[in-house]
Amino acid sequence: MDKSKLEKLFSKERLDSYKDEAEHIRNFATIDKIASKVGMLEIITRNAVARELNISDDKFISQQTLGFWVTMIDIMKIHNKILPNIDIDFKRYSKFNLQKNLLNHEKIKILYSLLRTIRNRAFHFENLLKLNANNRPRLSCALQRKDYKLIVGIDPDNIELFLDDFLDLFGKDLRFYLK
């Protein structure tokens, strides 16, 4: 497609965030591949938190954002009730991730922070494939501990793996539900 037409349709600034047109197209394909998994995790989370907090107003539950429910998990400190005793290795998603004997609630904070970042960037059609200048994942979050800050990221090629593993935490058959 003609470059000036693409810039008119998508904006020069947005297109400049991609290496080339092929990466822009790959980003749309990535969003297409992950949208249903992100959607499932959002619905599952919404219902799990509402159930834990005894919220039964279906309309209210459905109208709140993922960010609202993630914030409720943090405020009400129900991490371990949503996902008790999870086993997840963040090194699977980037060679830069360190496994630091994380507590269960810390793992859940990281999971939901990454999910929210992926969801927001995907559904605002931002570049999921981009890395930081130091070649580390741009899809990342920070967990502040007493003596250090732990950065956990997801390489673009591992987004789907991360979402599959997250779904598996709620049930091993969920990742196959939509196939």
pLDDT in tens, 61-99: 999 999 999 999 999 999 999 999 999 999 999 999 987
Instruction: Read off φ and ψ for residue 28, nearest 5 degrees.
Output: -60, -40
CA gap 80, 73 in Å, rounded: 9
Q: For residue 109, what are its two tokens? A: 């904070």
Q: Please write the tens of the pLDDT for every residue from 106-155.
A: 999 999 999 999 999 999 999 999 999 999 999 999 999 888 899 999 99
Q: Please write the tens of the pLDDT for every residue from 15-53.
A: 999 999 999 999 999 999 999 999 999 999 999 999 999
CA gap 121, 59 in Å, rounded: 26
Q: Whose CA is closest to 117, among 148, 156, 76?
A: 156
